[in-house]
Amino acid sequence: MRAWIHHAWTCALAVLLSGLPATAQDFPTRNITIVVPLAAGSGMDSIVRIYAEDLAKALGKPVVVENQPGAALMLAAQSVARANPDGHTLLVSSSPPMAVNPTLYKKVNYDPEKDFVPLALYAKSPFVVIVNPAFGAATMTEFIKKAQDSAANPVTYATTGAGTLQYLTMEILKRDFKFQANHVPYRSPPQIVTDVVGGHITSSISETGAALSLIVEGKLKALGITASAPHPSLAQVPTLADAIGRPGFEAVSWHVLLAPAATPRPIVDRLHAAMNRITGDAAFQKRVRDIGLMPLPPRSIEEIETYMKGERERWGGVVTALGLAGSL
């Protein structure tokens, strides 16, 4: 009987282990899927498709991009948090689902700190404060003054929804500089910039990529970039920190590649090393800049974890201070 039980346990263990790569050298054993929380054609999706080709070459297996938009970018996170932690299913995410939503929403079906391990933090997505040139504000100071003087008929500002980083940034400005501005939610960034150009909306804190060409053409006036450094394609536009006299102020989204937390460390290390080589390449970084984003230098896993923790604490604090915790 004991011999039979030992044999049964041995067989069961073999079955369990057969589904896992024994070492990083055995990985991958099949296609790798990168789940993206936005639709195909978005800036985030475009960057993933750039490095997916190089990652496939580095690992010797196809890398498939799967778009799972929905639930304020949280659907994809929920899906990958429950995936088999063997390195074959990865997640691309950003600051809203990883740093804002856990405080903003009453219920989040994943833990951004406990359910994932970061593999690469490779791009920042800065926003730009834009107005129609006919509004008559050439600087943030002038915009704030005109907004303060328009309390009886408040200016309007558009974002892709309450709780987004753009929304939170404008709400911080409204609070700190004591002006009124009515929020108008939109479904897509391109529609926002179209309506600012058309004069239907006074202003927006827009995705830079969506507004870039119209700023260059002079159809939009850019008042400030929300990154800590000027945007390479808009060198003449000051940082918002300089424009409002708040050193150190930054409000950017960021793109991070993650694996389920229980993924074996040798596989995590192999993926991290491959992504560092890919994202550190000058050609990759140029392609990131060309679509309006800002590339980041490769970092260690521990450095990425520290950065993300700081962002969770910062934006969670902002959501709470604005009285929005658990409001959605």
User: Can you tell me whether residue 63 is helix, strand or coil?
Assistant: strand
Which CATH number is 126-244's, of 3.20.20.140, 3.40.190.10, 1.10.760.10, 1.10.150.250?
A: 3.40.190.10
Q: What is the pLDDT of residue 23?
A: 58
The whole-number average pLDDT for the span 5-31 is 60
Neighbouring-strand partners of residue 246:
none
**Which tokens go with 250?**
């930054």
The whole-number average pLDDT for the span 145-172 is 92
Q: What is the pLDDT of residue 13?
A: 46
Q: At what angle do helices 165-177 and 140-148 cross, to 10 degrees?
A: 70
User: Can you tell me whether residue 52 is helix, strand or coil?
Assistant: helix
The whole-number average pLDDT for the span 213-229 is 95
Q: What is the pLDDT of residue 98?
A: 97
| pLDDT-above-70 percentage for the chain | 93
The whole-number average pLDDT for the span 300-307 is 98
Residue 39 has pLDDT above 90, yes or no: no
Provide the pLDDT confidence category of residue 24 given band limits of 50, 70 and 90. Answer: low
Q: What is the pLDDT of residue 292?
A: 82
**Are 26-124+253-321 and 126-244 in the same CATH fold?**
yes
The bridge status of strand 252-260 relative to strand 89-93 is antiparallel
Residue 26 has pLDDT above 90, yes or no: no
All residues at 6 or more sequence positions from 167 whose CB lies less than 8 Å from its CB, including other chains: 159, 161, 183, 205
pLDDT tens, position by position, 72-96: 899 999 999 999 999 999 999 999 9
The whole-number average pLDDT for the span 174-197 is 93
Torsions phi, psi of 115, nearest 5? Answer: -95, -10
What does pTM read for this prediction? 0.85
Q: What is the pLDDT of residue 28?
A: 96
The whole-number average pLDDT for the span 93-118 is 96
Domain positions in the chain: 26-124+253-321, 126-244
Neighbouring-strand partners of residue 204:
130, 158
User: Can you tell me whether residue 133 is helix, strand or coil?
Assistant: helix
Other CB atoms within 10 A of residue 286 CB: 11
pLDDT tens, position by position, 6-17: 444 445 444 444
pLDDT tens, position by position, 55-76: 999 999 999 999 999 998 999 9
Q: What is the dihedral of CA 142, 143, 147, 148, to 10 degrees?
A: -40
Higher pLDDT, 320 or 40: 320
Let me know: does 138 contact 220? Beta carbons within 8 Å.
no
Q: What is the dihedral of CA 113, 114, 117, 120, to 10 degrees?
A: -10
Which of the residue ranges 19-28, 271-280, 309-318 would you say has the lowest mean pLDDT? 19-28
Is the alpha carbon torsion for 72, 286, 41, 230 positive or negative?
A: positive
On whether the 26-124+253-321 domain is CATH 3.40.50.2020, my answer is no
The residue assigned the tokens 């070459």 is 57
SS3 content of the chain, % helix, strand, coil (to 5): 45, 20, 35
pLDDT tens, position by position, 127-149: 999 999 999 999 999 999 999 99
Q: What is the pLDDT of residue 249?
A: 92
> How far apart (Å, rounded) are the C-alpha atoms in residues 231 and 48?
21
> How far apart (Å, rounded) are the C-alpha atoms in residues 37 and 77?
8
Q: What is the pLDDT of residue 20?
A: 47
pLDDT tens, position by position, 251-278: 999 999 999 999 999 999 999 999 999 9
| pLDDT-above-90 percentage for the chain | 81
Q: What is the pLDDT of residue 247?
A: 93
